């Protein structure tokens, strides 16, 4: 990921995913992180083109 994100969301369960999508929909880049890498990769695979990026934490 290049540049910086306006906000980061930890936890990609239903609430975290929806929060990240709502923020990205408003035009702000969002970094996401989840305890399990598989869940984070799944969100990026499904929603990555919408302004959601992997956090480098």
Q: In a structure prediction context, what are the per-residue pLDDT tens digits for the chain, which is 57 residues long? A: 456 888 899 999 999 999 988 998 888 888 888 999 888 888 888 876 666 776 654
Cross-strand pairs, 7: 30
Q: What's the confidence (pLDDT) of residue 3?
A: 67
User: What's the predicted TM-score (pTM) here?
Assistant: 0.75
**Strands 30-33 and 7-10, bridge-based pairing:** parallel
Question: SS3 for 43?
Answer: helix
Q: What's the confidence (pLDDT) of residue 28?
A: 86
How far is Cα 28 from Cα 44, in angstroms, rounded to an integer?
16
């Amino acid at each position: 990921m290049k540049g910086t994100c306006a906000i980061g969301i930890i936890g990609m369960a239903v609430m975290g995913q929806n929060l990240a999508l709502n923020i990205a929909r408003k035009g702000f880049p969002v970094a996401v992180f989840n305890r399990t890498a598989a869940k984070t990769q799944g969100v990026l695979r499904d929603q990555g083109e919408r302004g959601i990026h992997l956090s480098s934490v």
